[in-house]
Structure 1
Amino acid sequence: MDKPVLRADARRNRAKVLAAAEEAFAVDGLAVPLDEIARMAGVGAGTVYRHFPSKEALFQAVVVDRLEQFAREARELLTAEDPGEAFFDFFRRVVQQASRNRALCDALAETTGLGFKAGAGDEFRSATQALLTRAQAAGAVREDIDGDDLRALIAGCLAAERYSLEERHLVRIIVDGLRTLRNKT
């Protein structure tokens, strides 16, 4: 069954809600009140609920959208001339961008307790796994790392970014640890 087509004003309101939610969740995660998101979007709470049945559904929509953007970026890098540097650049970029966004930190570390709907992060996992596999085949990344390890390392880097006094120092150490011996910088 196809989704109903939204009127132009409804599409605009939905876009405003998503933009406001992305901004609010980035700062406060799930702790932000739904009324605050509605206020930031310039709409009533009823408008938010018409588009999203709960704050958790809105949170998932925002996070899934960002994870899908990351997945698109990873797939674009699958044709990069240097698979190793493409992987490491992507890894650092994900950590850098997500570390400034509490919602992404929580989602990537799977600390929200939401149990994202089936398939919510599958594109991200699949694309990052393909990027990892290609970098490993090129001899740039250790062979004993798999997709689950990669997710855990991203989550660990996000935590390191929060608590490290020297910006990205610990991330650099983790990235160096992913390199094969012949590709250490």
Structure 2
Amino acid sequence: MSPKRPDAATRRAQLLDAADAVFRVHGVGAPLDLIVEQAGVGRATLYRQFADRHAILQALMERSVERLQQQVERLSARDDAFLLLLQYLADRIVDSPALSDYWRTASARDPRFLPLRRQVWRAFAPSLARAQACGLVRDDLQPGDISLLSGMLGAALRGETDAERRRLVQRALDIIHRGLRPATPA
């Protein structure tokens, strides 16, 4: 597979930025013409990059996982990286509610998304192990539980405004943090 020309890669990123912005306002069912308009490109450019709506959503999710990986690398030396990554996840849920909702509601066994879920679990695993070793989170938490935690944080999507969603996600994160703490001996 030959690498994309810089022009094609730039167009792809431009289309993904536009799709993220359009989906944020109009949901993942928004007309694709809105993405074309937002990106300032022709419809043919969109379809050269993405076969359909699902391909756009898949690419957005792949980009989200790549950005998560960058956060993992940036925070790798910190004992509290796991908790900071949960905060990052919470912020992404609020910043991109339609994509987050799509991600959360896609079947856990959907072959298009299972590899991405596994990448997320693997991304969180080292910081989880470190947080457990430092006594910051309970020992029984597993990397696969990230999907459950993400679902809990996704309850913030019920807020009608950004401010309300931010308040709800912070409240959910506070409750999750308390539940993640190791039990104190009686």
Q: Does 99-108 or 60-69 show the bigger shift?
A: 99-108
CA gap 1:28/1:102 in 2 versus in 1, 3 angstroms: farther
Q: CA RMSD in A?
A: 2.5
Instruction: Write the mapping of 1:14-163 to structure 2, written as runs, cut at 5 A.
Output: 14-80=12-78, 83=79, 85-109=80-104, 111-112=105-106, 115-117=111-113, 119-160=115-156, 162-163=158-159
TM-score, length of structure 1 as denominator length:
0.81
Q: Does the CA-based 8 Å contact 2:28-2:102 persist in structure 1?
A: no
Quick one: distance in 1 between partners of 2:86 and 2:129?
Answer: 13
* CA-to-aligned-CA distance 1:129-172 (integer Å, 9 cap, x gap): 22111111221111121122222012111214535788122320
Quick one: distance in 2 between partners of 1:141 and 1:7?
Answer: 43
Gapped regions of structure 2 (runs ≥ 5): none
2:172 to 170, 173, 176: 170
Deviation at 1:125, TM superposition (A): 1.8
Gapped regions of structure 1 (runs ≥ 5): none
TM-score, length of structure 2 as denominator length:
0.81
Counterpart amino acid of residue 151 in structure 2: A
Counterpart amino acid of residue 180 in structure 2: L
Number of residue pairs aligned between Structure 1 and Structure 2: 176
